[in-house]
Amino acid sequence: MTSQEESMPVNGKMEEQLYRKACEVLPGGISRNVVYRKPHPFYVSEASGCYVTDVNGVKRVDFANNIASLIHGHAHPRIVEAVTRQISRGTAFTIGTEVEIEHAELMCNRVPGFDKIRFVNSGTEAVMGMIKTARAFTGKPKIAKAEGGYHGSFDAAEVSQSANPSNWGDIGSPNSVAHVPGTPQGVLDNVVVYPFNDIERTINILNRHAGEIACVIIDPVPHRIGMVQATPEFVEALYHWTRQNKALLCFDEVICFRVDYEGAQSGYNVKPDLTSLGKIIGGGFPIGAFAGREEIMNILDPGGSDFRFPLSGTFSANPVSMTAGKIAMEMLDRDAVANLNSNSAIAIRQIKEAGKLAGIPLSITGKGSMFKVHFRDVAPTTFRESYEDAAMKKIMTLFLDKMYEEKIIMINSCSCVLSTVITQKEIDILSEAMLNSFRHIKPFLNA
């Protein structure tokens, strides 16, 4: 035994020690809320493929994949090799790189509506850039977004993200709810909140602001709206309204681009003017992007005749994210997407069987390689239906803790996202763990 091993705390203690140290320098001991948990977060030692090993040596199957960003799992050899080569040649420059052009070509050739693309550093920045582009292009100040929709941390984009029964108001005219105290009233006044998947009410609401709306934003498979899919009829209604009212239709596909080869938008007859992206297109490194029609994207061209939106970013299109992202997206070809989605369908089938065996109310929403379990018989179809109250959140925490014990990492909304390295073996481990965890929470569901 080395002296370092001798001084290593026994299971559990290591994390407590790390957490105590963390709390002295990081608010709540964390840098992002998603890792927060009681009595302390888990700390990773290493990860490979679809397995993550914590500092106590406990190995878990990863069905969270850094909140849906690691489409090929951890430390994929091809990505590691290419990124290592790039790092030794430099990580960020004040001049352009060839790889950013190659990644842009790949994305623009992949999706019919992507004439041009601008890379940024996160999904938050991508949505912010998309909104500002829409405002600058249309010359209008307001945006419309779905109640409960999560689009990152830009002021306007986060309005009503955390709306709840105490503040959401009448469904026919939902309040613009501040997510953080101190949000300027001007921000709230310029965000029109609509009820997801409710055509009649949404069109009435939009009509009340016609002439002022720059864009209508929608995430077609919104993680925070119960991972309920936007119906084709709803998306078409938004599309036609935006055509009639000189507004843009903007899709937020930061998380849901993974659901199909050309993103979630390929499932609709109508297409967005602009799309924000992130997560998987960075191959495990920080990234964001927004893409769309040439005429609109050209307002970002500093040398063009229609230049209206100066946008910089120190690390935007850095060659590390570009290299990793390009390889990740090359590997995610049509066959890879089909395989990923069919594995996901198998997982859902097995989990539903586990739910029956355990005798609990269960429904599953989602699309492609992402899905969410709901402890109710009938799946929600709207934000207000999907709202989880304090009692349900408690049960979800119990469930997630038990899943951790069963050596499965999930997203804390009780969602799973698959990576291409997950096989039937891991799907079996997942459904077995779900069965045990369903049995664990059953007494509380019936309480």
Ligand X SMILES: Cc1ncc(COP(=O)(O)O)c(C=O)c1O
Residues in contact with ligand X by CB under 6 A are 67, 122-124, 127, 150-152, 219, 223, 252, 254-255, 278, 288
Shortest distance (Å) from residue 98 CB to ligand X:
25
CA angle in degrees (0–180, nearest 5) for 366-370-372: 55
Residue of closest CB approach to ligand X? 123
Cβ at position 151, least distance to ligand X in Å: 4
130's tokens:
């998309």
Catalytic-residue membership of 352: no
For ligand X, the closer of residues 350 and 415 by Cβ is 415
CA nearest neighbour of 178 among 169, 165, 187: 187
Query: Least distance in Å: CB of 413 to ligand X?
Result: 10
If the CB atoms of residues 144 and 427 are measured against ligand X, the closer one turns out to be 144
Q: What are the Cα distances from residue 172, in Å, to 200, 202, 204, 211, 375? A: 9, 8, 8, 20, 28
Which one is catalytic: 62, 145, 150, 194? Answer: 150
When the beta carbons of 276 and 343 are compared against ligand X, the nearer one is: 276
Q: How far is the CB of 370 from ligand X (least distance, A)?
A: 10
Query: 238-270 burial string, b = 16+ CB within 10 Å, else e?
Result: bbebbeebebbbbbbbbbbbbbbbbbbbebbee
Considering beta carbons, is residue 67 or 136 the nearer one to ligand X?
67
Contact 177, 168 (CB under 8 A): yes
d(CA 121, CA 316): 5
Minimum CB distance to ligand X, residue 223 (Å)? 5
What's the half-sphere exposure (Cβ side, CA atoms, 13 Å) at 86? Answer: 23
The token pair that represents 311 in the structure block: 């946008």
Indicate the residue among 223 and 374 with the shorter CB distance to ligand X: 223
Contact 229, 220 (CB under 8 A): yes
- Known catalytic residue: 155? no
Structure tokens at 93: 């420059």
Which of residues 19 and 290 has its CB atom nearest to ligand X in the complex? 290
| H/E element, 17 | helix 13-25
Contact call for residues 320 and 287 (beta carbons, < 8 A)? no
Q: Exactly one of 116, 145, 279, 326 is catalytic; which is it? A: 279
Residue of 252, 260, 271, 273 with catalytic role = 252
Query: Least distance from C-beta 39 to ligand X, angstroms?
Result: 26
Active centre residues (catalytic): 150, 252, 279
